[in-house]
Amino acid sequence: MINWQELKASLQKIILTFDLKKLKTSLSWKSIGIIFSCTLLILTAVYVKRQELRNLIAPPSPQTINENLIEKIQATDQIFFHQLSQLSIPDDCISLKQFQKKDGLIEWNYNITTVTLPPEINFDQVKNALNRGVKFFEIEGLKWHFVQDKDNCLNINVRIQGFKTHQLTFCYASPVPEQQILLEDTYRVSIVIDDLGENYKIFKKLLAMHTPFTFSILPFQTHSIRIANEAYEKGREIILHLPLEPKDSFNNSINHGTLLTSMRKDQLLAQLERNINAVPHISGVSSHMGSKFTEDKAKMEILLKAIKEKGLYFLDSRTTKKTVGYALAKKMGIKTAQRDLFIDNDKDPLSIEEQLKSILPLVKNIGGNTIAIGHPYPPTINALEKTIPILEERGIKIVPLSQMVH
């Protein structure tokens, strides 16, 4: 940056050295040289100032931001692993996973590092070591914060230039007491897989997991009956995923068999009967979409009365905060439950895993029973395969939905 005060003072000093009388009579070569130097200095200062203004007006390109971000991520990785080696943490206690992230035109690797700490190293030692490394190298734009969770693990979330780039988790490999296992085994979770009926391969992967998922099947889909029959043969629970009218019908595809608020009672009951007959072996009914229908008390009374007469239970998927489904079903004496968690509203694999891991604190907070809903997406299947064994190790029991309705 140009110090304009110093430049002004220098010019004034140069000008005061002139002998103005001599300058009028004859310009010496020395005087000409001084004038030329001053002019050159001023032009240089003006050019530099223009360049500075141009850099302010024209921000760096996405490519430049991307390159800088990648360099800083790599430098941060080196700091972390150097400091971990200083703590004498063995390599086999460190697990690193990388996931590709994208924000507009900016792409980077999101690093998740899990460290199993030896008992002789405490969290304060970890914090001090990492703080020393970061302060020494001074990576611009790097921010982080420490969080100690209920499982007594130290989590460190890192952002560089505003982008989330690293997650570090430090835990101890302490055995779980037998008494605690018996206590936590009372926690029960139902995982309902919605929107089944088209993707038969995904269904077969779910079936192969030998987990008692509850299969929620849409009527009139290509493989609805086939999936229902095979799930029944394997002892899985099946419910009808009943299409109900959404508020924004222009932006949401309306499934065949959808119940509409504009239907008369006889039309509604006739269509409900066709939907029920389209999916064999059902134990209950859940709402598909239905943000408009489930707010209509009169229509829901007609629907729930018919469900009760058929000996079916009702799961309110709660696609709107104003739903009357669950409260009305309880009032009418129908076995019912409501959804606590959607695990894959965000289809990002990391987000799905985080949602599944949040089941443990959630089930503890809401009384020991939780109902989670997922969908037949490949990232959801992968996350379930990875996370369910972890939940089961921590005392979570996956149960059919019929064990959760009251």
pLDDT of residue 206: 96
CA-CA distance, 10 to 347, in Å (whole number)? 64
Pair (280, 376) in one structural domain: yes
pLDDT at 188 over 50: yes
Pair (156, 194) in one structural domain: no
- φ and ψ at residue 88, rounded to 5 degrees: 60, 40
pLDDT of residue 258: 95
Q: Any idea which of 160-164, 201-205, 213-217, 268-272 has the lowest mean pLDDT?
A: 160-164
Give me 164's structure tokens. Answer: 């989330």
Pair (381, 309) in one structural domain: yes
- 39-71 pLDDT tens trace: 655 665 655 566 555 555 556 676 777 788 788
Pair (122, 53) in one structural domain: no
pLDDT of residue 250: 58
CA distances from 172 to 149, 151, 152, 327, 395 (A): 13, 10, 8, 44, 18
Pair (188, 268) in one structural domain: yes
Pair (399, 281) in one structural domain: yes
Domain count, the chain: 3
Pair (149, 200) in one structural domain: no
Domain range for 26 is 4-57
Find the CATH number of the domain harbouring 137.
Answer: 3.30.460
pLDDT of residue 158: 85
Burial of 153 (C-beta count, 10 Å sphere; 0-12/13-18/19+): middle
| Residues above pLDDT 90, as percent of the chain | 46
| Cβ contact 28:34 at 8 Å | no
pLDDT of residue 130: 81
End-to-end CA distance of the chain: 72
Pair (53, 69) in one structural domain: no
Residue with tokens 């192969």: 208
- 162-186 pLDDT tens trace: 888 888 888 887 554 444 443 444 6
Pair (66, 53) in one structural domain: no
CA-CA distance, 223 to 212, in Å (whole number)? 20
- 277-329 pLDDT tens trace: 999 999 999 999 999 999 999 999 999 999 999 999 999 999 999 999 999 99
- 71-104 pLDDT tens trace: 888 887 887 877 777 788 887 788 888 777 777 7
In this prediction the pTM is 0.57
pLDDT of residue 176: 43
| Cβ contact 115:87 at 8 Å | no
Pair (327, 250) in one structural domain: yes
Pair (281, 370) in one structural domain: yes
| Cβ contact 349:386 at 8 Å | no
Which residue would you say has higher pLDDT here, 376 or 253? 376
